[in-house]
Structure 1
Amino acid sequence: MGEYAFKFTEQGPYGAAVRLLEGSDLRGKVVLDVGCGAAAMAAPVRALGATYVGLDVDADAVFKLVELGFEGHTADLTSPELTGTVRDVVAGRPVAALLCLDVLEHVPDPAAVLGAFTDALGSQQDVELVVSIPNVGHVDLARQLLCGRWNMTDTGLLDRTHLRFFTDRSVTELMSSAGWYEGAREDFPLAESDQHVAQHPAFGTETNLGALIGAVRSRVDGYGTVNQFVRRYHRGAPRQPEAAATAHRFLSVVVRTTGTRKQTLTEVLCCLAAQTDLDFEVVLVVHDLSKKDEVRRLVDEFESNLSHRVRVIGCDGGGRGRPANLGLREATGDYVVFLDDDDLVTANWVEAIHRGAEAHPGMVVRGWAAEQNRRWAAREELADHAASGPLLPTYTTAFDLVGHIRQNRTPFHCFAFPRALVSLGFSFDETLTVCEDWHFLIRAASLCGVHDTGKLTSIYNRWSKDSSSHSVDSDEWNVMRSFIHVALDEQPLLLPPGSVRQLDKTLAAREEDQRTIGALRAELAAVRAQLDALAQVSNNAHAAIGELRDSASWKASAPLRVAGRTGRKLADRLRER
């Protein structure tokens, strides 16, 4: 593990900054160290063959730098005259790089500082910029905030002199807006920053609380343990912020299709065209690029009421998770719901989701579904498919997370979730050949909780053949189920309110079952013991009879026994007369 230091060390952020410069052409050129302070970079930069020039507002620091034999100048980064000052310092010399190490977080307007240097450099386009910036997105700060703390310190992530705070995203936005684009990086990690609190459950990696915070943070991006962003940039044109989309919808309906079942896809689109709530978009992902145009033509057959809401996107390769992730990335609604091309929804499906989300914002909204057994028709039949049984209320019970961990009881189109989960790193596991929706639901339900609308708003079609439930071998389902359980077991899960009583009832029922099983086993053992005793008596009797029949007396008395039997038969006949 590294250690934060203001002095130059090969293992620290300054060492990383030097390594980012090593591939650049520095000989005979100037490297400007902006906010140089104690000039920890002076000797390493000189060793690379460059002319080191330090700039700092502290005149004493500049004086000491000059005493050491390096060029130094006073410069106030907040001054409106900064551009002229830098231009005078450069004096027409070729500049290889700017160093802004632990500087931009100390000025009120970092963009203005970068702009001043860009203007001062003028036509010198091959200048590089190397920065070192503290990461306020470090997981330790998230842990501190969850504990109600924001502890400013003399140095470190929350240095008292910091005026601006940066995450990976805000660093990128700042640089691109000023015309600087990343060329390389060597970020400096610290698993335990200066904000880490030892022996605290929120900071432990093995405690439930600590592991949960770490899991949530790590899903968002890969910078949860980065202490300093150390990156090199090259010049370009400033990028203007992207304009916000004008047409915003509440719900994104993602439909996956292979484009081979035209009739069922048509029925799905008809269901969407009939919705009572039209605040939705449709992201239609065609999992076969060769079918994309054909699907687009099918969509265009519908009135603009629906067709203008549909974006057709092609996807090739991968399993079921790939088009799901593509649809997730393309979705723009506040909520996202999936609808496969062979299921049906009622006209109030979107409306029920919308009302549920408004009443319970941020929660997963779950509707109920009936199950319909269907069969693919024979070639001579008019329709492509037909019902082969009654509608069954299979999926009309309240959500139960514990029960769902055991077995999925919610069809894919029955739950909608906040798109904000994507910013928390949620996606579908593309290594799963089936059950990708179940895996996603368990994780989303654990984090968001679930609101049941209590409304039956869809039909889940169970096909007799040519569907994933039949085309995938049962062993594969079991393997995928095991994979999901292993993945879920690697991280803590939040249980919703009511789970304790439910678990208590489940465990009580299990204990009662175990007592009943124990009693039945005892009874069975007693019966088996009685049977064993009777079997022993029977065996002993048979052995005694065998011994008797083998004895000499038994054999000698045989004629008497025969005569006795004959006499009894004659007596019986006489009585019958």
Structure 2
Amino acid sequence: MPSTVSEAVATVRTSSISGLVDHLLSEPAIDPRLASALHAVQEAIAEPVADGPFLSVLLRTQGRRLEPIKDALLCLAGQTSQDFEVIVIDHDSDPVGAAAVRKIIASQPASFGGRIRILEVKGGNRARPLNAGIHAATGRYIAVFDDDDLLFGNWVAEFERVAETSSGRLLRGVVAVQNVAPEKWPQAQEGFRTISWPKAAYPREFDQLAHFEVNYSPFMSWAFPRSLFVTYGLEFDEDLTVCEDWDMILRGSTMCGVDDVNALTAIYRRWEGGASSYTDHSKDSWAWSEARVWEKLDGSTLVLPSGSVTDVRWLLAGRGARNELNALVHSPAWRLARPLRGFVRAVRYGRALAGKARRRVRW
């Protein structure tokens, strides 16, 4: 633990953009006009002091899975830290589903239910309710938790712990995955059952370059600083049919940087059977959304975290080795040596058979 206030301040990790500005200002020969402008940028991007709670939790629902949303609210009610608000975003629920969701919320204890608000959002893709939620949020950080996933009791507390030494950076926890399937419960009630043990299938530490290729971080593993939206003005891309989470993760992480929580905090439920984002959207829809995310990122200027040059060099070296191997496999010498390689494999196979025969004789 830091022994003085100055040491505590020194341990705070700032956003990537703030770090870039600090680096430019450290140049001794910087133009005074540029230095003055950068100092103004520093003031503008300083993390705002939030009057509200530590965390705003955006809980998306369409009123289709009522038993899972009961679990979701129970997970929130059981958090060891209660410094958060809940914004339930009802997106295109039918009247029956919307009424059922409101009944479930009304049944919550007053100490918890008093911190729950409901937003109704009509139309649009998966990003529209998220944008409505971030405009309504009052917390210092914003997290998204869909109505069919699970949280451990440390979810909020672990974000709080890392936020103490993180200013304006994204926070990322560790999430397990578990397969579930819908089934009928007694009295024809729509229920579900788990069909696998939870498995920590996602990397413990955030890898920026790996995330350029594919999303290794379920939505509820993230807490986004509110400054990402109110200061930098980012919004979720409402043109995307899917991948709205991956898009924001990539844009936010390259602008602000990421701090790892290094604790298991949630379970992502992967549905087998029934409706999900994988069944509601076609392969073409997924391919188009992924291509749009890459295109937007490719057209932007990126700030990469420390150590990225080493990682890029390693990737380039690996690509060079693969190119050399590919050239060797397709070379005339490799083709001419094919009979010899066949002979060597035959000899090895014969030796292996002879060894097995000798072992049988000994027995």
Q: Where in structure 2 are the equivalents of 1:412-451 lying within 5 Å?
A: 412-423=219-230, 424-451=232-259
Q: Where in structure 2 are the equivalents of 1:100-115 lying within 5 Å?
A: none
Contact 2:51 2:138 in 1 (8 A): no
* Structure 1 pair 247–298 and aligned structure 2 pair: CA distance change class (3 A): farther
Secondary structure at 1:475's aligned position in 2?
helix
Contact 1:253 1:282 in 2 (8 A): yes
Distance 1:414 1:364 in 2: 10
**Partner residue in 1 for 2:353:** none
Distance 2:307 2:134 in 1: 31
Secondary structure at 2:148's aligned position in 1?
coil
TM-score by length of 2: 0.76
**Partner residue in 2 for 1:274:** 78
Q: Where in structure 2 are the equivalents of 1:275-294 lying within 5 Å?
A: 275-288=79-92, 290=95, 291-294=97-100
Provide Cα deviations, 1:507-526, integer angstroms capped at 9, x if missing partner. 11222222222222225432
1:149 is aligned to 2:14: no
Distance 1:149 1:411 in 2: 44
Comparing both chains, which one has the higher relative contact order based on Cα–Cα distances under 8 Å and sequence gaps of 6 or more?
A: 2
- Structure 1: which 5+ runs fail to align? 1-141, 152-157, 159-194, 196-201, 203-212, 218-244, 532-577
% identity of equivalent residues? 35
**Partner residue in 1 for 2:119:** 313
Q: Where in structure 2 are the equivalents of 1:35-434 lying within 5 Å?
A: 149-150=32-33, 248-288=52-92, 290=95, 291-378=97-184, 384-423=191-230, 424-434=232-242
Distance 1:148 1:361 in 2: 28
Contact 1:292 1:313 in 2 (8 A): no
Secondary structure at 1:438's aligned position in 2?
helix
Larger Rg: 1
Provide Cα deviations, 1:430-460, integer angstroms capped at 9, x if missing partner. 0000000100000100011111111011001
**Alignment length (residue pairs):** 300
**Partner residue in 2 for 1:460:** 268
Question: Following TM superposition, by how much is the alpha carbon of 1:304 offset from its aligned partner in structure 2, in angstroms?
Answer: 1.4
Aligned-CA RMSD value: 2.8
Distance 1:376 1:346 in 2: 22
Distance 1:383 1:295 in 2: 14
Provide Cα deviations, 1:191-228, integer angstroms capped at 9, x if missing partner. xxxx9xxxxxx9xxxxxxxxxx9xxx9xxxxxxxxxxx
Distance 1:421 1:479 in 2: 26
Contact 1:292 1:314 in 2 (8 A): no
Question: Following TM superposition, by how much is the alpha carbon of 1:337 offset from its aligned partner in structure 2, in angstroms?
Answer: 0.5
Provide Cα deviations, 1:309-338, integer angstroms capped at 9, x if missing partner. 111111111110100100011010000000
Question: Following TM superposition, by how much is the alpha carbon of 1:379 offset from its aligned partner in structure 2, in angstroms?
Answer: 6.2
Distance 2:252 2:31 in 1: 26
Contact 1:375 1:387 in 2 (8 A): yes
Distance 2:334 2:105 in 1: 66
Question: Following TM superposition, by how much is the alpha carbon of 1:530 offset from its aligned partner in structure 2, in angstroms?
Answer: 9.3
1:397 counterpart letter in structure 2: R
TM-score by length of 1: 0.49
Question: Following TM superposition, by how much is the alpha carbon of 1:247 offset from its aligned partner in structure 2, in angstroms?
Answer: 6.5
Question: Following TM superposition, by how much is the alpha carbon of 1:293 offset from its aligned partner in structure 2, in angstroms?
Answer: 4.5
- Structure 2: which 5+ runs fail to align? 1-20, 342-363
Contact 1:335 1:416 in 2 (8 A): yes
**Partner residue in 1 for 2:336:** 526
Distance 1:148 1:356 in 2: 36
Secondary structure at 2:198's aligned position in 1?
strand
Provide Cα deviations, 1:489-529, integer angstroms capped at 9, x if missing partner. 11111101111111111111222222222222225432579
**Partner residue in 2 for 1:96:** none
Structure with bigger helix share is 2
Contact 1:370 1:393 in 2 (8 A): yes
**Partner residue in 2 for 1:490:** 299
Distance 1:510 1:266 in 2: 49
Distance 1:425 1:511 in 2: 40
Contact 1:377 1:383 in 2 (8 A): yes
